Amino acid sequence: MPWTRVGEAATARMPEQEAGTGSGRAAAREAPALLQVVDLTTHFHVPDGVVRAAEGVDLEVRSGEVVAVVGESGSGKSVTALSAMRLIAEPPGKIVRGKVLFEGEDLLTKTRTEMQAIRGQRISMIFQNPYAALNPLISIGDQLRETLNRHRDVTRRQARVIIEESLARLGISEPGRVLKSRPYQASGGMNQRVMLALALLGEPELLIADEPTTMLDAMTQMDIFQLMLKIQRETNMSIWLITHDFGVVALMADRVVVMYAGKPVEAADRKTILHDPKHPYTSGLIGSVPAMGSRVKRLSQIPGEPPDLRALPRGCSFAPRCPRAMEVCRAEAPPSLRLADGAAVKCWLYADGAGSG
C-alpha cells in the first residue's frame, strides 16, 4: 500500500533528524533500489484456518545499504525474506500476491532454474543455526569448494587460493586446519564464519542474514557483525538483516523496517527510529532492548501477546497491546502515512485530525 504524506499538524510533532554516519552511508541513501518488495502477501493454509504470515509487505533495499527488519517472533520478517527468495514450502504456504523486483526483474515470475542461479550467486542467505545449514559429515574445505565450483569456473589450485583468502578475510587465522575439519569439530563462531564465507563466495550483490548470531556468545556476535560491516563496506554489498535486537540495529543498520503481525508498521533511517520512534510498537521494542548477546527470544516488556495470525483483530492489530489506542484504532485499520522527516508509519496517531491518544 502506498504511503500517504500527512499535513502540517502531524509534522509538527516529529522534528526532522539527520541520519547516517558518513559519506558512504549518505551514498547508500541516494543509491538506486537493488531490491523492491511490493505488496508481498504470503499465507499458510493449516487445518484450522489461514495464517496470514505476511500481508501487503512493502520494503526496499538500496545498493550498498544495510536494512534491518525488526520485530518479535511471528511478525513476518523471516517469512517475507523466504518468500522473496521463493523458499516457502508450497503447500502449506502460498505467495498470494505481490512483486519482488531485483534490479527491476520480478523474482516471483522466475523459473525454478533461474532462481537457483540467482540464489547464492547474486543473493545469498545466512541463517541463525550454522549446524543445520552445514553438512556435519563433509569437511569444511569440501563444502566451500563445492559451493565455489557452483558459482565460478576455477581450477583446484585457484579454488584453494580463493577459499583461503576468503577465510583470512573473515579473521580465520589457520585456514588449512579449518578446511580439514568437519563442522562438528569447530566452534559455533567458527561455523558461522564458514557460513558467511559460503554465502560470500558467489560475490552476491545482496546478503540476507536471518538472526545470524542468535546462537553465539556476545563477543563472537560482535566479531561477526563487525566482519559483516567491514566486508559490506569493502564490497558495497547490500544487507537485508533480520533481527529482534535493537542493539544490532544501532550497530549495523542504515534504515530500519519494523514489522508487527505480518505487516510493516514503521520504516525510517536508523537515527530517526532510535531517537524518535513514531509507532507505539517501535517505542515498546526500543524500551525493551536486550543487551547484545542476550538469548531473550521475546521482548516481554511489551504487555500482552502478538495476535493469532489466523484471527487478526479488526482495526489495528496492535490495539490490544497499545497504551495509546483510541476508539478508531479498534474499528478501522490505520492508514499508511509518510511523515515530513521521511519516516513511514501505519498509525492513527499521525493521521490528520486524529487525537494524540
Verify binding: residue 318, ligand SF4, rule CB under 6 A. yes
Do residues 188 and 130 touch, judged by C-beta distance below 8 A?
A: yes
**What whole-number distance in Å separates Cα of residue 188 and Cα of residue 184?**
9
Query: In this chain, which stretch among 42-50, 152-160, 191-199, 345-353 interacts with ligand SF4, using CB under 6 A?
Result: 345-353
Verify binding: residue 170, ligand SF4, rule CB under 6 A. no
**What whole-number distance in Å separates Cα of residue 139 and Cα of residue 274?**
43
Calculated CA dihedral for residues 239, 196, 120, 169, nearest 10 degrees: 90
Q: What is the 3-state composition of the chain as percent helix, strand, coil, each rounded to the nearest 5?
A: 35, 25, 40
Verify binding: residue 285, ligand SF4, rule CB under 6 A. no
Verify binding: residue 127, ligand SF4, rule CB under 6 A. no
Verify binding: residue 280, ligand SF4, rule CB under 6 A. yes
Query: In this chain, which stretch among 56-64, 77-85, 229-237, 343-351 interacts with ligand SF4, using CB under 6 A?
Result: 343-351
Minimum Å distance from CB 49 to ligand SF4? 23
Verify binding: residue 357, ligand SF4, rule CB under 6 A. yes
Q: Around Cβ 47, how many Cβ atoms within 10 Å?
A: 5
> Which member of 322, 337, 343, 344 binds ligand SF4 (CB under 6 A)?
322
Verify binding: residue 3, ligand SF4, rule CB under 6 A. no
Verify binding: residue 325, ligand SF4, rule CB under 6 A. yes
Verify binding: residue 316, ligand SF4, rule CB under 6 A. yes
- DSSP H or E segment with residue 100: strand 93-102
Verify binding: residue 61, ligand SF4, rule CB under 6 A. no
Cell of 336: 499508511
Verify binding: residue 259, ligand SF4, rule CB under 6 A. no
> Which member of 179, 208, 242, 329 binds ligand SF4 (CB under 6 A)?
329
**What whole-number distance in Å separates Cα of residue 271 and Cα of residue 21?**
9
Verify binding: residue 349, ligand SF4, rule CB under 6 A. yes
SS3 call for 294: coil
**What whole-number distance in Å separates Cα of residue 160 and Cα of residue 179?**
10
Query: What residue ranges bind ligand SF4 (CB under 6 A)?
Result: 279-280, 316, 318-319, 322, 324-326, 329, 334, 347-349, 357
